[in-house]
Amino acid sequence: MSSQEYVKYLTQRFVKYMETPKEQRVKKPKEAFMYRWFGMLPFAIGMFIRRKKK
């Protein structure tokens, strides 16, 4: 990829970013560490433990 193509690509990305409404540009909050790395397993174990305590 030549530098000219790269500049063109970056310009297109920037223009597309600026044309989107600010509400859509807001970043989504990240998931909790345990869910991001281990999926639903911690949630399922937590539910099982809470059910057993009752």
| Residue-averaged pLDDT of the chain | 84
Instruction: Domain count for the chain, please give it.
Output: 1
Domain with 40, as residue range(s), is 3-53
Q: Write a three-state SS string for the chain.
A: CCHHHHHHHHHHHHHHHHHCCHHHHCCCCCCCHHHHHHCCHHHHHHHHHHHHHC
The C-alpha angle with vertex 37 and arms to 51 and 53, in degrees rounded to 5, equals 10
Q: pTM for the full model?
A: 0.44
pLDDT value of position 37:
73
Question: Quick one: which of 34, 17, 16 has its CA closest to 25?
Answer: 17
Q: What is the pLDDT of residues 1-53, one digit of tens each?
A: 789 999 999 999 999 988 988 887 777 777 777 777 778 888 888 888 888 87
